[in-house]
Amino acid sequence: MAESFDALVIGGGAAGLMCAIAAGRRGKRVLVVEHANRVGKKILMSGGGRCNFTNTGATPANYLSANPHYCKSALARYTPADFIAMVERHRIAYHEKELGQLFCDDSSKQIVRMLLDECADAGVRIETSCAIERVRHGDATFHLDTARGSFTASALVVACGGLSIPSMGASGFGYELARQFGHSVLPTRAGLVPLTLSGKHQERLADLAGVALPVEARCNGSAFRNFMLVTHRGISGPAILQISSYWNPGDDLRLDLLPGDDAYAWLQTQRTERAATELRNVLAERIPKRFAQRLCEHWFSSKPMRQYRDAELREMAALLADWPLVASGTEGYRTAEVTLGGVDTDELSSSTMQSKRVPGLYFIGEVVDVTGWLGGYNFQWAWASGHACGNAL
Ligand SMILES: Cc1cc2nc3c(=O)[nH]c(=O)nc-3n(C[C@H](O)[C@H](O)[C@H](O)COP(=O)(O)OP(=O)(O)OC[C@H]3O[C@@H](n4cnc5c(N)ncnc54)[C@H](O)[C@@H]3O)c2cc1C
């Protein structure tokens, strides 16, 4: 005999747990089915173990989607202030790191604990290590056959997340289910991910792995000013992770190595004020020394500043302000924080997250084609979409 619930939630991650809490609070009998041995694994590893659980400045402009309007309704109805209120109710200490990013002072375990306590209060049942064998639909009822028995409900919420970090339980199951029920899935790719370099950039930069510098990274009309980190295989750091979500193979990627400055005016000033100093030493005051030296070995020739003609300064300034880098690819899902693309929002209701094709079927969180920037935006989408769905079940 299958056990009956009001709603079955597949995936005990950020979105699934929030959805279950909202529905449970409204008296719904909810079962969360999680195939990993514990819920919230990505929450645990997020934010370097301190979970960047929201961003106080989150707006729809911080999300990528084929339909940029889709996320608006849910984000407006469950705001960062709503999640902060829950965090404060549970007396979890937190701080703002930069740019509205809120982190736990202590550990991301506190966020998982909070969600589990809220689930318990709301009467939500959670089954972990529960592999799903089959999902069926008939007579307006969803049937789940799992390693821990069979369950039925009139509502099924797909909250399986994306493909990033398979070792943490990520699977393509949400996309498979979407297709099983006739939904379109937009092409997926790794986002918020380090980029790999090849050819001369790789050869010239690889041994600088570990060097970090502020840059403005630009691609396809988007720009992010933050740190870049050189890695053994390419480049990473917040500026690169952000721009990686806007980059497709073959796209032009540019770096401003003197962000916020007029490179030509700066070089002219250096020529006037430090005429006898060599370029490599001048640059080393703005850019990490090893990186500056490498630029002078391969891209510029270093000589005392007074020896540069205006045209040479202009050429160098152009390169410093708009350095073209040819990325060969990304590090892929193994290290990506998110998956871009996913279940097409055109076939979902933006207020309830319900399928327009199959009544009672819902998609929330990362499995949907809504992807946030780095900095707490992805969890805010998970909370907001989970909350919208939980209140509609
Ligand atoms: C290393 C890392 C750090 C991150 N740090 C941050 C951060 O600090 N701030 C931020 O906003 N975002 C961060 N993110 C992104 C954030 O974790 C995700 O956007 C968010 O977890 C998505 O929530 P979700 O509930 O949709 O998916 P998930 O949290 O991935 O949850 C999906 C759940 O479904 C389960 N599942 C999958 N397949 C099945 C199946 N077949 N049957 C049953 N269960 C299944 C998974 O095991 C998982 O528990 C980070 C991501 C990574 C990888």
pTM here?
0.96
Q: Which residues line ligand 1 (CB under 6 A)?
A: 10-16, 33-36, 39, 41-42, 45-47, 51-52, 132, 159-161, 164-165, 169-171, 173, 337-338, 365-366, 376-379, 382
pLDDT, averaged per 10 consecutive residues of the chain (393 residues), comes to 96 98 98 96 96 98 98 98 98 95 98 98 97 95 96 98 86 95 97 94 91 97 97 96 97 96 96 96 95 92 94 96 94 96 98 98 98 98 98 98
Tokens, residue 323: 């350095």
Beta bridge partners of 5: 153
Q: Angle formed by the axes of helices 377-390 and 80-89, to 10°?
A: 90
Q: How far, in Å, CA of 308 to CA of 291, rounded?
A: 21
d(C-alpha 246, C-alpha 63), whole Å: 11
Closest CA to 77 of 392, 295, 315: 392
| Whether the Cβ atoms of residue 376 and residue 54 lie closer than 8 Å to each other | yes
Q: For residues 211 and 237, is the Cβ–Cβ distance under 8 A?
A: no
What is d(CA 388, CA 351) in angstroms, rounded to the nearest whole number? 7
Q: Which atom of ligand 1 is nearest to the CA of 378?
A: 11
Cα 333 to ligand 1 centre (Å): 12
Cα 69 to Cα 305: distance, rounded to the nearest angstrom: 52
Nearest to 247 by CA among 346, 164, 325, 333: 325
Q: For the segment 341-380, what is each residue's pLDDT rounded down to a tens digit?
A: 999 999 999 999 999 999 999 999 999 999 999 999 999 9
- Beta-strand relationship, 253-256 and 141-146: unpaired
Residues 6+ apart with CB under 8 A from 27: none
In this structure, the residue with its CA closest to atom 31 of ligand 1 is: 13
